[in-house]
Structures are given as C-alpha cells and as structure tokens.
Chains A and B, each alone.
Chain A
C-alpha cells in the first residue's frame, strides 16, 4: 500500500489558453496580410479564423478526453505553425496566383489532418499496441516508399526531377510522408526486440566495440534502401531522413557509439558515391558551394532568390504582405522558410525554429518520461525525425547544407505532409500522456494495472 498521492495537474487548461492564443496570432497575421495587400480585411478571414479555431478546439477536446495527461505545449505549438503556414500560403497566393498554394485547400487538408489526429488518439489508446504491428508497418512503409518507383509513370509522374508522387483518381499524394511514420514505428519495434543482441555481441577492435558481421544486416538494409530511394526516385531529402532516423534509433536502442560512427561512415561513403555517380546530386552540391556561379544558368535561381529574400528581410523583416516572397519559385512549398525570413525577418525565422525546438524537446521529454522501451524509441524517433527534417529543409534553403526537397512540417503547402505530421503529433501526445500519467496505485483490489503484460520487466518507481 502506498500513500495516496494527489494526481499531477493535467495542464489541459494551459493547453486550451495557448491554443486560443495560437489561433489569435494566426488570425491577426491573416488579417494583416489581407489588409496590407488589398487595403481591407479579407472576406475569408471569418471562415479561415473560425475554421482553424473550431478544428483545433475539437483537437483540444479530443486530447482532453482521450489523453488528459498529454504534454500541453505540443498542440499549441503545431497549431501556431499550421496557422502561420496558412497565412503565408494565403500571402503568396495573393502575390502570385499561378504558383502552387491555395489557402482554402490547405485548410481542408488541415481538417483532414486534425481528423486523423483525433482518430489516432481515439483508436490508439496505448502506444504499445503499435508494437504488434512492427512488421506490418515495415512492409507497408517500404511498399509506400517504393510505390512511386515501381508504378508506371502514369501513376507516379516525375515532378521537378523526383518521382515521389502517387497520382490516381485526381488525387496526388506523397506516400513518403506516411511511410516515414510507419517506418519509425517499425524501426522502434524492431530495435526493441533486437537491441540486446545488437548492443552486447561485439568484438573489441582498437578500443571500439565493433558489431559482429551478421548483426550489420539491418543497418546495411536501411542504407541500401535509402540509396535505392535516392537512385530510383531522386529524392535526396527522404533518403537522408530515413537513414538518419534509423541510425539514431539504433544508437539510442544500443547506447553504442560504434553504431553511430558506422552509420556516419556509411552515410559519408554513400554520399560520396552518389556525388560521383549522379549528376543531380553533383549539381546540388555544386550549387550549394557556389550558388552565384549557377545563377545565370538558372540552376541555382531558386536558392539565390531565397537567399536574396532572406537578406532583404534582415532583422525585422519587411512585414507581412510587404516583401516579394513570390519571387522565389515554390515559395509556399519547399521554400516557405525563405518567405518567413523575408517578411518576418530573422526574428520571425528564429521564432519558428524555436517552435520546432519546442516540439522536438517536448517529444524527447516524452521519450525520457515514458516507461516502456518501445515508447521511448518511438517518441525519440518521431521527435528526431522532425528535428532532422527541419534541419535538412531549413538548412537547405538557407544555404547551410546542400538543398534537398523536403517539406517544412506544418508550414509547407501540401496535404500529405500536413496530414502525416498531425498523425505524428497525435502519437507524440499519446506517448507523452502515458509518460505524464500518474502511475496507477493499488488503492483497492478493483483497480487493475494498466500496464500491459509485456511490460512486466519494467522497474516501476513510485
């Protein structure tokens, strides 16, 4: 018998207040864009503000009901990102209707994303359920990833040099975004099962614990798979993302530095190989090293225009609706970060990066707090994938690393990415709920242990 401890606060009201704040900020930004561009408040303001408000309040309600102890900062942070994304898409659409990006469409996708978000929270009552689907998720994930490469061109057209789209019945989706989620689930499940053998069986060479040859299988498979993505689909970003997340999860699962070093070596050799063999990889690297040299030929036009936009933004930015973000091709998808840097300045860009940092930090905190190893790996994988994706796309746009085509989570125009990321946040909330939920104390015989049987090995602290 343990003494009765008062339940820790759920912080749901904090979440509600912050969500409302995030919606208000987005609405104010939307109104400001409309006013600056057209001279009056946009007619779509009510529909937009109301729509976003209702959607995220529904999301909040679902969290309140189905994940009452979940982290209170995740939902407001992504609400603000999603809301500002809508504002920027609206703003770029006003300036250049011919560029892709339609705020109404994005709002519909937001609804779809929040729908999936709610469904995940309602259906997945305990993240450990997912562990059962380790191999299902792996096959589904690989299948989704491979589809564009395998299907005839009618269903998987090459768009902007990459084959990452599926097109059927008038819909286009990027299956890679969903594959990301599935594969992280399967990585986590797989590594929980295999981590002991991967961690312990080793030979010591030169002070490093090197894995046995036969244990190299999984990492080599992951490496080969990401190279295949690169070769068949020419999708640099996704390739990098998958391999990075896998290696990091391997490291977390085994706590062995040698895996990390091995992964980095493989990455380096893969990158070198790709640079030598594939002209499109070479071009990306060359335009990154000296973007000016490729400006006249148009090959670094997008990157340079993005950098010009960032430079013109300066510290405070031109103000929403007062810059020229639409000069950058794909301003509302791949290059939305350049639009932020231009109109909201360094200040706005740093704020956005810190919002991502909050999401990642909260995800990692859930990973630390949750008590089962699968949950730890899953939360860490989800959070790290977000961090890596933001790094790759923002780093690419700002010229820190070579440019790769990845969406900016929650900001970029595009349904697949938005919907998949809402599901990702739902999973993180689910895990954080479990991490912050007070450990059920046996006060009387009617209370049952909530923990699933496969967690019996876990040491519980109270």
Chain B
C-alpha cells in the first residue's frame, strides 16, 4: 500500500512538472488565456519610434488592464505599426517585434533575471523604425488629398530602408487597441466589413497591374541584352500580335515615330506601348522574367508582416509576352515592389532587401539589434552601365516626357509613369516610380492611386501619382 501511495505521489509530481514546466509555454500562449494578456498589460510596453518621436507608447489607465496602447498620428502609421489589442491580438510591427516591446525577448534574459532578483518591474525594449517622419507625413497627406485609395512606398535605394509606407484608406489603431472592448469590437467589425479594406496594408498586401512602370524592367532587360538607348525599335500605331487576330494599339492610335520606328529612349519617354510590346516579343518571356525576378518579382521578401508576392507569369505565349512587357496580362506587383525597381536602378543595379526596423534597444538602452542592409538574391539585377543608361532615360521622362509633374527645381529627378488597365469599365490605376537626386540617389518612391482618371493614356499616372512622389522626395531631401 505504501507502494500505491508512492505511485500516486510520483504521478502527481510528474504531472505537476509537465503542467508547470514542459507544457507551460504552450498554455501561456493559448489565445484565450487572459492571464497572459493581463500580465502583458500590467506593465508598460516599449515604444515604437520614428526618429526620436514615439509613435506608439503605453499609457496608464485605471481599468483592469493597467496600460493602454496610444498611437500618435495613428492612421498615418497604422500600416506599419499595426495595433495591439487585448481582444484581437497584435499585427504588423506590434506583432513582429512583440518580444522586444513586451520585454520577453531572449536577449533581455540576463536583465530579466536581475529584475527578478532585485524585484524591479520588468522593463521593455524600444523599436526604432527606418521611417522618416517628413516623408511619411507628406505621403499620407498628399495621397489622402486625392480622395482616392492607394499606397506610397519610399526606400533608401542604398540600403533598402523603408522611408515611407502609407496605405489609404487607413484606420485609427487607437480605437482598436482601446481597452473599451465593446467599442473596439464594433469599430473593428465595421473596418472588416468595409469594402475599401482599410485594414489592409496596400503597400505590401495588394498587387496591382503595373502598366507602363513595368517598361522600366522591360527596358532593363533590353539594355542587358544588346539594346542601347538609341537603338531603333518598331513603333507602329498598332502591333500585330502573333498567333492571334488581335493587335496591341497605342492609346492615341498613332505611331510613336516616323516610319513606324523610334529609339528606345523616346519609347520610354512617351511610354510607347507598341515599341515595348515589340521589344518583349524580340527578347522573349524567359529573358523578361529573369530580369523581373532579379528585381524581386516571384520572390518572398521576408518582410515582418503579411505580404503578397509580386508576380511575373510563368510561361507566357507570344501575345502574352508582348502584353507582359507593358505591364499588363498577369503581371501584378505590390507598391513596395515598384519602389524596389526604381531603387535598384538608382543603386547602380543592386536591389537591396527592404526592411523596417532600424534599431532595437534593450531596457538599459544598449543596442540589441541594428539593421544590417543586405542585397536581394542574384544581384546585381542589372550592370552599372545598364543602370546608368536607364537613369538617363528616366531623367528624360521627367525632363521631357510623361513625368514632368515630378520635376523638382534645381534637382535631377528620374521617374516613370504608369497607367494600368484592370478590367473593362473601370478607371485605370495611376502609377509613378521615381528616385532623386538622380545623380546621387537618396530616395526612391513608388505611388499608386487606384482608379485614377478616366483616361487610358499615361496622363493619369503623370497627373495624379507624380505630384505625390515629388512631394515625398522634396519632404525627405529638403
């Protein structure tokens, strides 16, 4: 009987070990374990910084949850910060950097043990983003002013640091993070039902047909395969598509040059569809795809939040290749990917891996993480010579072509407009990608304005999107 008692004792001891040690973490992380939540809200959460400004901070409350998250300029930064809510959990940076922000990261272990021994309250770390407050504000204000949906992404082409990331319409993360749960639930339900999808970060989650901004990639492929800026290419009013009875027309129904021919330089300047369709047919789908993939299409970016992969179609036939070369057919890219294309050209052909977190500091203000810029795989995407030629061509677009609205006095700006069809009876999306100063690039910007003007020509991209890009570049370089 003593054996029975001993067996019972050991069963209890072993089970207690399992419950409190072996499976403890699993139980702590159960979504409906409010204990973890209450513990998390019983201490301040570390701030998220832009420069020296706290855009997310913890405020003390009198409720059951002792602290509440506050977001400064919430809707401006919401696509990046995301939110942390006692009911809905965390998203975006709040989720990705959670361990640092709530102080449970492994790097803080020694500090935590010391706090435990000295009975100090556990302190969190802080996360500084790569964002630039001026660029971000300029992007949000100017995009919102159009009254349309869209997104803006700005990168430092030399490092891949994200300088601005804006998605419109946005939402107020303060109202979701609110400890007033019924109010927060109502607000979030409304956002979820909203057909404009304000909770989506369009900059990385939505894929758009790139339209003519993709001509930068096609031009890059051409220059990498023997073309030169002054190479003459076919540029008829309408391009016969092989294997079909259809053809690919220019929007104005006219040829892009005398004798149905023009130079590559001029084709980009005026965004000539037939010329780039012809180049696509000449190069073939494989070469186009190879260049596109070096710029980052068909690749996961390993971004710290939910993202969509930009697509160049797998095996296009000839007409599909011609359409793909002008950014139509199944080509679909995120605004971030568009910015990466401009940044790659700006950076002498090397596309950098985009990143959002510049620095993480521990509770004692020591740096525990510092961004280490990395190249994308398979770099350079294009040779320095091709990059230089493309830059010249893109400067020409802004100086003399469709992108004149992006001109900044006293500064060389390179850019490319785009107007992307997306189905019958809808207004095309207006695009603009650019970088500046073109002779010493410090910022690359991509702007998409959904359903821009009722005009299939590139006027829409130049009129709607280019001024926003210009404002962001000016704000940053001022």
- List the interface of chain A (C-beta within 8 A of B): 248, 251-252, 292, 295-296, 305, 307-315, 324, 327, 341, 345-346, 349-350, 353, 356-357, 360-361, 364, 380, 383-384, 387-388, 390-391, 394-395, 398-400
Contact = CB atoms under 8 A, between A and B. Distances in A.
B422 to A, nearest CB: 42
B15 A398 contact: yes
A307 B4 contact: no
A310 B2 CA distance: 28
Nearest to A399: B19
B385 to A, nearest CB: 61
A308 B33 contact: yes
Contacts of B21: 314-315, 346
A187 B68 CA distance: 61
Interface string B23-37: 111111010111110
Given A350-B16, A353-B12, A400-B15, A309 B35 contact: yes
B17 interface: yes
26 contacts: A248-B4, A295-B32, A305-B35, A308-B36, A310-B24, A311-B19, A311-B23, A311-B24, A311-B26, A311-B28, A312-B35, A312-B39, A313-B20, A314-B21, A345-B20, A346-B17, A346-B21, A349-B20, A356-B9, A361-B2, A364-B5, A384-B1, A391-B9, A395-B8, A398-B15, A398-B16
Identify whether the interface residues of A are mostly helix, strand, loop, or mixed. helix
A312 B34 CA distance: 11
B11 interface: yes
B477 interface: no
Contacts of A360: 5
A207 B282 CA distance: 93
Nearest to B20: A346
A346 B20 CA distance: 6
A327 B5 contact: no
B13 interface: yes
B38 interface: yes
A311 B13 contact: no
A397 B32 CA distance: 19
A360 B20 CA distance: 25
Contacts of A313: 20
A310 B19 CA distance: 7
Contact of B11 (A315, A361, A384, A400): A400
Interface residues of B, number: 29
A353 B9 CA distance: 7
B20 A251 contact: no
Main secondary structure on B side of the interface with A: helix
A233 B383 CA distance: 86
Contact of B27 (A308, A357, A395): A308
Nearest to B22: A311
Contacts of B17: 346
Contact of B1 (A324, A341, A380): A380
A85 B148 CA distance: 65
Q: Which residue, of B5, B30, B33, has the highest number of chain A Cβ atoms within 10 A?
A: B5
Contacts of A345: 20
A250 to B, nearest CB: 11
Interface string B262-282: 000000000000000000000
A307 B15 contact: no
Contacts of A394: 12
Nearest to B26: A311
Contacts of A350: 13, 16
Given A307-B19, A310-B20, A311-B25, 4 more contacts: A387-B8, A391-B9, A398-B15, A399-B19
A102 to B, nearest CB: 24
Contacts of A311: 19-20, 23-28, 33
A149 B15 CA distance: 35
A364 to B, nearest CB: 5
B8 A388 contact: yes
Contact of B12 (A295, A310, A398): A398
B145 to A, nearest CB: 46
Nearest to B36: A312
Contacts of A364: 1-2, 5
Contacts of B9: 353, 356-357, 387, 391
Contacts of B1: 248, 251-252, 364, 380, 384
A314 B24 contact: yes
Interface in B21-73: 21, 23-28, 30, 32-36, 38-39
Contacts of B28: 308, 311-312
Contacts of A395: 8, 11-12, 15
B122 to A, nearest CB: 12
Nearest to A360: B5
Contacts of A296: 32
A353 B13 contact: yes
A272 B8 CA distance: 22
A133 to B, nearest CB: 24
Contacts of A356: 9
A403 to B, nearest CB: 13
Contacts of A399: 15, 19
